[in-house]
Structure 1
Amino acid sequence: MADDIGTVRASCLCGNIRYNIDLPRADYPLRAGFCHCNSCRHVSGTLCMTMVFPPKRFQPSAHLLNQMHSFQFSERCTQYSCTTCGSKMLERQGSHDLVDSQVTWGIMSGTLEKADGVFEVKYHCWIEDTLDGGFSDFFQPTKGDHPERWLRGEGQSEKSPLFWQSPTFLNAQPPPQDRLHAHCKCGGVSFYIARPSTQSALGKAPWPDVLIPFHSMAPKPQDGAWWLAAGGTKFLAGVCSCDSCRLACGVEWVEWAFVPVSDITLDADGRTSFSREFGKLKRYESSPGVRRYFCGGCAATIFWDGDERPDVIDVGVGLLDAAEGARAESWLQWRSQRISFREDAIPRAESLILAAENGMKQYGHKYQGIPFK
């Protein structure tokens, strides 16, 4: 009967790719997991891939798949994304010689119109690749069970405690005068970031929502180099959960580092100045004066760029190859007390946002000495 079927809609950011997931209501909530492996970080531009797994009988149509760009993520996995806005939509898991009934599909959770009641996060996997715990420490549910924390594949390795750190992370001593390599998985986009200098503070940019809520009526501070932290030695980083970021990437949230364009070069020696046109970089204007950049090869999220602040650009943190770990803590100071545009996310995914807010505040208390409220 039709009443026994639950329909969930999925869409990319631009709306060119849309489809329905029609499953018996008894199948919900679907199982979901967060993968923190190096490949997922670099193919998404975020700290983890958030994927939902429907029953095997779910099979997207050939017509739907043919509308999208495909990327061979690994020997067994092919990812599908929108060619216009870069939104990651689906992942086919299984070798090419398998028939459809033997293939498993993963749905990028950020493309779903609803999260609460539709899926539940059951596990983290490949935390070992992060060295520092990555986003797994930022996600701590306030109710119910915590997701299982697997160092490698789910059920194929030891579990890790909260705030796990690799011996490699504990012993890392990054040189003070190096450059940080950033790149997508396929290598179609690659660039370098220099450590902050006196020049880094020269630009101008309005205060971001992650520091001062966009809809706040409180008076804003005077202009300043808010993108610099820790006495000007690090760049500010934060988490955004706005609908546009979620749909553009296909994940629940996007972690951005705010970096002056003067600190970005296209080569390791710092001789080739930054340009907004290089490699396989593609651009989508998500709203007037706002551009989102992604890789035309693997569809990794690369930059957020806006006319209102031409001197500072947002860089997807998942692209970074920091020696000390995924959170790049010798380079970045994390804004742990607010998730940007949480107001967008609460109606759709309240339980996820509350878990992320709790985890980030716990992180801020443990590592930044901020009192937990």
Structure 2
Amino acid sequence: MAHVSCFCGGVTQNVRPKNPIASNNTALSLCHCNTCRHTTGLLCTSYLPIQEPEISTNLRIFRTSGKSARYFCRICGCHVFRTQESNGGEAEWGVATGVISRTDDDVIGEVKFIDHRHVSDTKDGGIAKWIPFGDKERVSKEADGSENESAQSTSLEAACACGTVRFHLTRPDAASLVPRRNYPDLTHSYCETAASILSNVSDEKWWVRGRKYLAGTCTCQSCRLTSGFEIQTWAFVPRANIFIQIPDGETAAVNIPLDFDSLPSGILQSYKSSPAVTREFCGTCGATIFWHETEDTEVIDVSAGLLRGSDGACAESWLEWWKDRVSFVEEVQSGRNGPFANAAKNLIDTLSIGMKGELVNQSAK
């Protein structure tokens, strides 16, 4: 059995792996397809094949196609299950690996992430280029000239899979430099940095990187259990540079500056993961959208898997990715134990080193 739970506990149960065998290892893949990225807001997902689970009333279903569906918690937005029809017509079930807190070790065996799937959908290799295992040809960049086009653009579109949430970003401008915000754990480890430094007394506008915004990876327990997966990816963008699309009649829509207080109902669903933090997700498809401080909404964490940059999933003509540290890497095993906790740590260790360029082309060796 594997015990699974989302962040809020609205979905908590035991599930049975599809092929529990004690003598073999359990091999997992990271999926980078457009559907996974846009239904979750993350750059990749991972599922463990399981037998058909119990579907509680706290799960909401989103059908990505006639043969595939995702199940997420209607309270905190965490993705929990996926089902897709096999060629033989049988339903194949999977549970998001990030919600697995413990397992029967003698049934699962050793767990390893070993491969990437559908990397070609990313156009630029996505996060797979920093996790060098599997087939290196599938993580090579597809040069098609779109990078130059995207670099010149003044607007970057973003949307969840169902299209309920649509918005765009604009390039940094004078308004981008008005907010103040403490340093994030991404750039300054909270467990190793003095509060006097974290408070950013010099008022550095660290989120603006020339014509780009800072972006990074996070493995904190809260992000894992509100998304369902091992690696969250955030872009830090001032609210003044986010324009959200709202319906205006039956066929038209308008783009307005993002304002959580005046936003019409039905576009974003909010969840307070702590008294000081509010997260937004799409109530229709479950995609993670935003993270922000409850009382300070001037600089927003935007879920990078929603971005539709013409140069690729990492939108590197718009984002400068922080590669020196994975945010809250110390929490990768928090609240979990056993083989999945070990597999997650190995995965994030590989990511941490890969982002620094120390494992480039390892897969070719």
TM-score by length of 2: 0.84
Determine which of 9, 12, 15 is the counterpart of 1:18: 12
RMSD: 2.7
1:43 corresponds to 2:39: yes
1:135 is aligned, of 127, 134, 139, to 127
Given the superposition, is the C-alpha separation of residues 263 and 180 from structure 1 closer, same or farther in structure 2, using an over 3 Å criterion?
same
Deviates more, 1:309-318 or 1:29-38: 29-38
Matched, 1:167 2:146: no
* Counterparts in 2 of 1:21 and 1:147: CA distance versus 1, 3 Å: farther
Decide which of 119, 122, 127 is 2:114's aligned counterpart: 122
Moved over 6 A (4+): 363-366
1:80 pairs, out of 71, 74, 80, with 71
Match of 1:243 in 2: 221
Q: What SS does the corresponding residue of 1:73 show, helix, strand or coil?
A: strand
1:195/1:52 CA distance change after superposition, 3 Å: same
The separation in 2 between residues aligned to 1:171 and 1:193, in whole angstroms, is: 17
Listed as ranges, the matches of 1:88-167 within 5 Å are 88-94=79-85, 98=89, 102-114=90-102, 119-140=111-132, 146-148=133-135, 159-160=137-138, 162=139, 164-167=140-143
Per-residue deviation at 1:97?
Answer: 10
| Residue deviations 1:29-84 (CA, integer Å, cap 9, x gap) | 43321111112111110111222223xxx1213xx344410110112111111110
User: What amino acid does structure 2 have at the position aligned with 1:20?
Assistant: N
SS in 2 for 1:285: strand
Report the identity percentage.
34
1:274 aligns with 2:258: yes
- Taking structure 1 as reference, are residues 298 and 198 closer, same or farther at Cα in structure 2, changes over 3 Å only? same
1:155 maps to which residue? none
Pairing of 1:1-373 with structure 2 (within 5 A): 7-22=1-16, 24=20, 26=22, 29-54=25-50, 58-61=51-54, 64-94=55-85, 98=89, 102-114=90-102, 119-140=111-132, 146-148=133-135, 159-160=137-138, 162=139, 164-168=140-144, 172-174=148-150, 176-218=152-194, 219-220=196-197, 221=200, 222-229=202-209, 232-267=210-245, 272-276=256-260, 277-278=263-264, 279-307=266-294, 309-346=296-333, 348=341, 349-362=344-357
Query: Could you tell me how far apart the structure 2 residues matched to 1:118 and 1:309 are?
Result: 43
Distance in 2 between the 1:175 and 1:358 partners?
28
Query: Aligned partners of 1:338, 1:88: CA distance in 2, in Å?
Result: 26
The answer as to whether partners of 1:336 and 1:363 remain within 8 angstroms in 2 is no
Instruction: Tell me the amino acid that sits aligned with residue 274 of structure 1.
Output: L
Inter-partner Cα distance in structure 1 for 2:254 and 2:237: 15
**Amino acid paired to 1:203:** P
Q: Which segments of 5 or more consecutive residues in structure 2 lack a partner in the other structure?
A: 247-252, 335-340
Q: Distance in 2 between matches of 1:139 and 1:93?
A: 26
Q: Is the 8 A contact 2:159 2:306 kept in 1?
A: yes
Q: Decide which structure has greater strand share.
A: 2
Is contact 2:147–2:310 with CA below 8 Å preserved after alignment? no
Check the 8 A contact 2:6/2:80 in 1, yes or no. yes
Q: CA deviation at 1:168?
A: 1.6
Contact 1:203 / 1:312 at 8 angstroms: preserved in 2?
A: yes
What displacement does 1:336 show?
Answer: 0.4
Segment of structure 1 superposing worse, 107-116 or 191-200: 107-116
Q: TM-score scaled by structure 1?
A: 0.82
Contact 1:178 1:194 in 2 (8 A): yes
Whether the 8 Å CA contact 1:206–1:308 is kept in 2: the answer is no
Following superposition, the deviation at residue 179 of structure 1 comes to 0.8
Residue 28 of structure 1 and its aligned partner are, at CA, apart by 6.2
Amino acid of the residue matched to residue 234 of structure 1?
K
- Structure 2 CA distance for partners of 1:83 and 1:271, relative to 1, 3 Å: closer
Aligned CA distance change for structure 1 residues 77 and 254 (closer, same or farther; 3 Å): same
Q: Deviations over 1:259-284 (max 9, x none)?
A: 00000112499962212234531001
Seen in structure 2, the aligned counterparts of structure 1 residues 131 and 177 have a Cα distance that, compared at 3 Å, is: closer
Cα distance change on mapping 1:298 and 1:85 into 2, 3 Å: same
Partner SS state of residue 185, structure 1 = coil
Verify the 8 A CA contact 1:204 1:225 in the aligned structure 2: yes
Instruction: Tell me the distance in 2 between the aligned counterparts of 1:67 and 1:80.
Output: 10
SS at match of 1:26: coil
Unaligned runs of 5+ in 1: 1-6, 141-145, 150-158, 367-373
Cα distance, 1:118 vs structure 2: 5.7
Contact 1:122 1:148 in 2 (8 A): no
SS of residue paired to 2:10: coil
